[in-house]
Structure 1
Amino acid sequence: MTDITRFTRRAALGVAAMAAATLALPGAAQAEYDFSGQTVEWIIPFGTGGGSDTWARFNAPFLSRHLPGNPTVAVVNEPGGGSTRGTNLFAARAQADGLTILGTSGSTQFPYLLGDPRVRYEYQDWSVVMVGPTGGVAYTSPSTGISSVEEIADLQGQRLTYASQGATSLDLVPMLAFRLLGLDVNYVFGFGGRGDGRLAFERGETNIDYQTSSAFINNVTPLVEEGTAIPLMSWGVLDEEGNPQRDPTFPDLPILEEVYEMVHGEAPSGDLYEAYKAFNTAGFAAQKMVVLPTGASDELVEVYRQAWRDVFADPEYQATVTDALGEYGQVTDAAAEALFRAGTNIGDSVRQMVVDMLQDEYNVRLGD
């Protein structure tokens, strides 16, 4: 059992015990809401076939099974604007009747955190009912002259090249990490996805890269085994108190905080590190969220959280989720609330520092 799984179960059991000790809210809420014969639209602000679509389509039948009345849960794709289009539509139109929910991703959180003018939604007006984390691993080429992460300081002073989807995509996390470590990285923007970035690495066009956990396991591990990729660090996970910990999928890999101390001899701090933490949480530790719209009642929130508790306890779900979504346990209740807060809040000075960095160094203007 992974640390994340233990975290998930402890959180769920703790909240259940608190509820039982106070009000019998779950039963009352279940009685009030009956979705028999209705359709719940699960808005996914991305196209079909991507990670968010895959995540939602795996979860949807289980959610249908465990909501009162077993409604049809239909995934509705509303792509555009880097996910802001569909999210804006949800914010403007969704009624608080339980028949419309939204699935967000790091690509939805990032424009919000950056103050992108395309954003017409406010996370703090919504109620989170589930959060799904993921992870990622950074690696480099042996052509840099290093053979392990212990030699990462030798990357300083070298000109490194990275194939990027864009400075406001999830690639912002490795950009901030490499900057913290003092690495000189040339970002080549415009790649269609992380898969394209990996292929550029394999062709020798770049010499530093990152992949999400599943892509690293499936596509980069063979490169590690043949000696053409050197793992550097994972992005880690958060514990119950929000502290960074090693990723249970990659327990032998250090996280950025450990590597920073290895290079600089002290723990990271300051606005740049605060920015890294904020975007790492929004992009990975709290990457995917299920939220209810503005005005959702406490009873409706409890209905959905109870449904997710039942999903997580479903034997069929437990038997299939790892193959479908990886090792990272999805969470509800207090655990989801903590990740939601961490992934949707950033200090004004930290935000402005990142916005200025994107504009001054990469000619990126938000909303363009």
Structure 2
Amino acid sequence: MLPIERQQHYRREYKMSWGRSFKHSLTAVCAAAALTCGFAASASAQEPDFAGERVELIIPFSEGGGTDTWGRFWAPYFSIFLPGKPTVVVKNVPGGGSTSGANQFEARAKPDGLTAIGTSGSTQFPYLLQDKRVQYEMRDWRVILASPTGGVVYVNSDLGVKSAADLNALKEINLRYGSQGATSLDLVPLLAFELLGLDVDAVFGMKGRGAGRLAFERGEVNIDYQTSSAYINNVTPLVNIGSAVPLFSWGALDDDGNIVRDPSFPDLPSFPEAYEMMKGEKPSGPAWEAYKAFFIAGFPAQKMVFLPKDTPENIVEAYRKAAISATEEESFIADREATLGAYKQIVGEPAERIFRQAVNVPEDARTWVQKWLTEKYSVQF
């Protein structure tokens, strides 16, 4: 179970997702208001006005996971900086490894700026793999921002391992992992476990990574991973009390496209380092190339905010301006690392570029992964 105070925290966040902005200092709020007024003074007559409106930010996962934590961090900043200061609320629509919420967004969201969606790689991967549940066309959506993130793999301390140096000891243990589905963002850990040669039973059907973490806390699974925001907020306390042991992070991309240590977890080896510690050689081969392709598609631009297709340009620009203003705001800068990790948020045209890269996985990597998923997990495409 989560500690009582953390349960109370999530209940409060769920009921008042936009109200977190009032926790900022009076100075920060005044600065936000001044910036908003500045936008109003310089805006064209075509700038939208969301005064008195309710904006829904759909998060296609259950509460408590990394994407939910990320969405609830961003929501109050959109409330402050969008023209007219609308009430921005998070609406959780879990199911289908996030495809249920994405399908609903595709089918129902109007291009009026009152509905946005916050996605994860778990929304992107089924689309890339041509999963039969997908009824949305991501390439048509209007991207507002991209949030790079990472992730950390950890195990139950009862297994007796202390760090990645003990990975070989796990080869003789049957491990259980709570998964949203083989074509979700969990594809990355499933490929990693395959490369390491670990005996991992995937327990499918989790409605989000938060559900996987709760299964870990209940002792139903003994290996898990969480994206950076959820790990920082929800797993670090488990590490501190000695019930969880971090092994490695997925890593981050440097400017040359190499996977290096994650800046949010500099003391943990990256996955390629952990592989080399265990195997005595650098990773290589088709499985590695497939892993690398989907890691790049899933994490450097892992979480994104979109508006529906056909959203007018002035509304798209209003959202992008709001996101830029948020990233420059004092309280955002102060709170970002503690909640999201040490990652620069990507807004506007740079977000457009990285999104286009993320939805263009090499065909040979896609084909290899589809074949492996069919053989390993009976996934049909």
Residues 221 and 76 (structure 1), Cα distance of their counterparts in 2 relative to 1, 3 Å cut: closer
2:56 matched residue in structure 1? 42
Say which of 128, 134, 154 aligns to 1:139. 154
**One-letter amino acid of the counterpart of residue 153, structure 2:** A
Counting only pairs closer than 5 Å after superposition, residues 61-210 of structure 1 correspond to structure 2 as: 61-140=76-155, 147-153=162-168, 155-156=170-171, 158-165=172-179, 166-190=181-205, 193-199=211-217, 203=219, 208-210=223-225
Give the C-alpha shift of residue 170 in structure 1: 3.4
Contact in 2 for aligned 1:136/1:234 (Cα 8 Å): yes
CA deviations over 1:213-256 (Å, ceiling 9, x no partner): 35545665566567665432101223455542311221011111
TM-score, normalization: structure 1? 0.75
User: Please, which moves more after superposition, 99-108 or 185-194?
Assistant: 185-194
Distance 1:82 1:252 in 2: 31
Secondary structure of the structure 1 residue equivalent to 2:63 = coil
Of residues 277, 280, 298, the one that matches 2:292 is 277
Note if contact 1:111-1:119 (Cα within 8 Å) is conserved in structure 2.
yes
- 1:311 deviates by 0.8
The separation in 1 between residues aligned to 2:280 and 2:365, in whole angstroms, is 24
| 1:55 and 2:73 aligned | no
Distance, in Å, in 2 between the alignment partners of 1:219 and 1:276 is 26
CA change 1:341–1:267 in 2 (3 A) is: farther
Q: CA deviation at 1:154?
A: 5.2
* Higher relative contact order structure (alpha carbons within 8 Å, sequence separation ≥ 6): 1
Which structure 2 residue ranges, 5 or more long, are not aligned? 1-39
Counterpart residue number, 2:345: 330
1:32 match: secondary structure? coil
Partner of 2:228: 213
> Is the Cα contact below 8 Å between 2:55 and 2:86 reproduced in 1?
no
Select between 205-214 and 249-258 the one with higher mean Cα deviation: 205-214
**Partner Cα distance (2:106, 2:296) in 1:** 23
Distance (whole Å) between structure 2 residues aligned to residue 97 and residue 221 of structure 1: 40
Aligned-residue sequence identity (percent) comes to 50
Aligned-CA RMSD value: 3.5
Contact 1:132 1:289 in 2 (8 A): yes
Give the whole-Å Cα distance in 2 for the aligned partners of 1:185 and 1:48.
Answer: 24
1:253-311 superposed Cα distances (whole Å, 9 cap, x missing partner): 11112223344455434442233234334544323211122234555433322211101
- In structure 2, what is the Cα distance between the partners aligned to 1:30 and 1:319? 32
Q: What is the number of equivalent residue pairs in this alignment?
A: 337
Paired position in structure 2 for 1:307: 322
What CA distance in whole angstroms lies between the structure 1 residues aligned with 2:161 and 2:335?
39
The SS at the match of 1:285 is coil
Distance 1:87 1:226 in 2: 37
Report the alpha carbon displacement of residue 322 of structure 1 after superposing the two structures with TM: 4.2
CA contact (8 A) 1:67 1:303 kept: yes
- Residue identity opposite 1:162 in structure 2: R
Whether the 8 Å contact between 1:159 and 1:184 is mirrored in structure 2 is yes
Q: Distance in 2 between matches of 1:360 and 1:273?
A: 17
Rounded Cα–Cα distance in structure 1 between residues aligned with 2:319 and 2:90: 16
| C-alpha spacing 1:304/1:27, structure 2 compared with 1 (3 Å) | farther
TM-score if structure 2 supplies the norm length? 0.73
